[in-house]
Chain A
Amino acid sequence: MDFSDTSEEAEYRETARAWLEANAPKEGLKPDRTGGADLDHHRAYQAKKAAAGYAQISWPKEWGGPGGTQIQQVIFSQEEARYNINSAYFSIGLGMCLPTVIACADEATKKRFVGPGLRGDEIWCQLFSEPSGGSDVAAARTRAIRDGDGWVVNGQKIWTSGAHYSDFGILLVRTNTEVPKHKGMTMFWVDMKSPGIEVRPIHQMSGQKGFNEVFFTDVRIPDSQRLGAVDDGWKVSLVTLMNERLSIGAGTAADSGAFIQLAREATIDGESALRDATLREKIADWYVQTEGLKHTRMRTITALSKGQTPGPENSIAKIISAKQAQDVGAEAVDMLDQFGIIRDPDISPLGGLFQDQWMAGPGSRIAGGTDEILRNIIAERVLGLPGDIRVDKDVAFKDMPTGR
């Protein structure tokens, strides 16, 4: 048991460090998610990474990737993290959409998309969720009807991150309503500039606009853009979601430093809040959780470096970190007493960091798998408990009861 690199790992780290020193933007990169001028900076850096073999390091050569290992990817991410770089613009495409395209599409399509994706020239979004199905993705109603050598799509997707600046998307649609729901869906890739696609931002309760609704009105999609067999879209979507799980392990847990700083400055009954026994106990609990996640990730990385595939154990990270972020936000705001009701970056401590965290809390516990779905995943895939008794498995989609 030790934390040091093997000699090959150390060498890789050294090279990556030197490359980052020469090429990483010193001021960091944080996406504003507008897709405006800020995106050009991200693209410039992403193109450099691709040229140097640091974009999607573990992608095999036959995909057009550098053919490195998972552990090299982890090492590069660790080193890159020092520069405060967030590549959210490209993560959905590279982490989920393109692996799905690569797994299902013909050679020409792969060749067409992999290079521009790696360089950041083209951005992808994932069009799965619908108003009628959040956790229940297979409840999708957006309809595709065959028309000659193509399909005509009508319906609505929701919670689509980055749809407003995406060039392409992968789209899960209903192609058959006569069979049970999992058996009547098909996956396509789609050009987001196709006529009939309209993107509208969602105004979140936190005030931000990071997600979208995407409306499809008589959108024509050639059959050549189909990924996988007709009515086999559920299986294809599992490829996407499996890749989502693999990328979760790279996430980072919260740092208790900012909270301790705030607690030191705030006062309770005329004393530094950091002297409050109740608060101290809570900070200790959060610290232990965060450390637990950090070291669980170390165990995952160790498994990766031995060539093993991490399992759904990674689901524990978001269960803990999302709820903890909400709890920390609530506690931090409470600590300020009446002053806590102010949410103004000019007046609130630390630029209103914790007020924002408190407002974002409910979203974190829902996005990317709700607390409840993640518990189901652990119960079923790790512990081997039975799935829920289903009332929708053997019913034709058209006969399924719906709310409205």
Chain B
Amino acid sequence: MNFDFSDDQKHLKGEARRFLEANCPTTKVRVVLNDAAKAYDEDLWKAVAGQGWMGAAIPEEFGGLGLGHLELCAIAEELGRAVAPIPFGSTVYLLAEAIMLAGSQMQKQAILPKIAAGEIIGALATSEGPGAPTASSLQATVSGGKLTGVKLPVTDGDIADTAVVLAKENGQAGLYIVDLNGAGVAREMLKTLDPTRDAAKLTFKDVPAERLGGAGEGFDLLQQIHDRAAVLIAFEQTGGADRCLEMARDYALERYAFGRLIGSYQAIKHKLADMYVKNELARSNAYYGAWALNTNAPELPIAASAARIAGCDAYWYAAKENIQTHGGIGFTWEVDCHLFYRRSRQLGLVVGAPRAWKERLLSQLERRNAA
């Protein structure tokens, strides 16, 4: 029994941390935050591509490193810790996973090598307004190989080259690969809670669309893609939550109030202990998700749901209580706390809110208990 990352994987994680400390200090995150027109850090994106991270889990025959998902999890944790302002999740956790999961040999050959080389940015377009889309609410339509409809919001939709779009065709929901650089695509950049991760409104009018997977499999595939992405995002959440705990602890060890370190007050100590407990639970659930993802285990839907629920809970708690521990200074633009506060909510919503995942977990448990 070995429920831990291997020495090689830990080494990779250490390398990733050093790389991001050098190439992605929060001053770089702030450049994206402060410039409304800047969607992501292009230099960092190129540098990350140079490391081969986009292709970590992509097989060698499609231009990737062919390492595996555990390696990708290790990288994800470090990207989360660094609040990296790049479209890594949209491209790697969503687009690449979607293509690897359901793509034909031709689709894989067309798209995966470009992802691995850092040549394209991806997106997954599902939402059409408030609430998660359902079979009855879905409006976007494919007819005669052409997509028409509106997707709102699409994370990284303003910069993506290729999107996987949820739409219906002959009344059945399916996923479609769409080139966003072609004619008929209108993009409108949106204002977001976390401007270091952009989103857009995409309007499609008769845009060529190629189906990914079978007809009518749209929601089923989407769920499988979400499961895979949820595990990877859980590692980003764990990384971010751990960083919040470190910031709060460091501040509690330097700030004096009423003649003593604030870290000596139980009100602060217990808050940070609770943060630690939630972070450990999130990490352990994420590890189990990583195992399920890497081995493609039948437990993946349950493991991914648990990883997502624990990851959302831990990051949200750590992000808000980090600000609380800092007091007034934590509420200023200059202190980094809000970068994590923003990102915790962005990651907490990007593949669906925890509420939906809890319901999904319960249905899975009921199914398992019935079996």
Measured CB to CB, the residues of A under 8 A from B are 1-6, 9, 71, 256-257, 260, 274, 277, 280-281, 283-285, 287-289, 291-296, 298-299, 301-303, 305, 313, 316, 319-320, 372, 374-376, 378-380, 382-389
CB pair B291 A3 closer than 8 Å: yes
Q: B204 near A: Cβ within 8 Å?
A: no
B:321-371 near A, CB below 8 Å: 355, 357-359, 361-362, 365-366, 369
CB pair A291 B4 closer than 8 Å: no
Q: B135 near A: Cβ within 8 Å?
A: no
Q: B83 near A: Cβ within 8 Å?
A: no
Q: B90 near A: Cβ within 8 Å?
A: no
A285 neighbours in B (Cβ, 8 Å): 309, 313, 358
| Most central of B70, B273, B282, B287 by chain A CB within 10 Å | B273
Closest Cβ neighbor of A374 among chain B residues: B273
List the 3 closest A-B pairs by CB distance, nearest first.
Answer: A292-B281, A379-B269, A284-B358
CB pair B1 A4 closer than 8 Å: yes
CB pair B273 A379 closer than 8 Å: yes
A384 neighbours in B (Cβ, 8 Å): 249, 253
CB pair A378 B264 closer than 8 Å: no
A289 to B281, CA, bound (A): 7
Q: B26 near A: Cβ within 8 Å?
A: no
A157 to B284, CA, bound (A): 39
A372 to B266, CA, bound (A): 9
A-B contacts at CB below 8 angstroms, number: 153
A-B contact pairs, 28 of them (CB 8 A): A1-B2, A1-B4, A1-B294, A2-B2, A3-B3, A260-B366, A288-B310, A288-B361, A292-B285, A295-B284, A299-B4, A299-B287, A301-B1, A302-B4, A316-B277, A372-B266, A375-B269, A376-B273, A378-B276, A379-B269, A379-B270, A382-B276, A383-B245, A383-B276, A384-B249, A385-B253, A388-B264, A389-B264
A301 to B3, CA, bound (A): 8
A294 neighbours in B (Cβ, 8 Å): 284
A260 to B264, CA, bound (A): 42
A49 to B135, CA, bound (A): 60
B294 neighbours in A (Cβ, 8 Å): 1
Q: B132 near A: Cβ within 8 Å?
A: no
CB contact under 8 A between A295 and B287, given known A260-B365, A383-B249? yes
A291 neighbours in B (Cβ, 8 Å): 284-285, 288, 306
Closest Cβ neighbor of A304 among chain B residues: B1
B365 neighbours in A (Cβ, 8 Å): 256, 260, 283, 287
CB pair B281 A288 closer than 8 Å: yes
CB pair A320 B361 closer than 8 Å: no
CB pair A299 B3 closer than 8 Å: yes
CB pair B276 A292 closer than 8 Å: no
Supply 6 further A-B pairs (C-beta < 8 A) apart from A285-B309, A320-B277: A1-B3, A1-B290, A283-B362, A287-B365, A292-B285, A385-B268
B231 to chain A, nearest CB (A): 12
CB pair A320 B273 closer than 8 Å: no
CB pair A298 B1 closer than 8 Å: yes
| B270-313 vs A, Cβ < 8 Å mask (1 yes, 0 no) | 10111011001110110110110011000000000110011001
Closest Cβ neighbor of A298 among chain B residues: B3
Q: B5 near A: Cβ within 8 Å?
A: yes
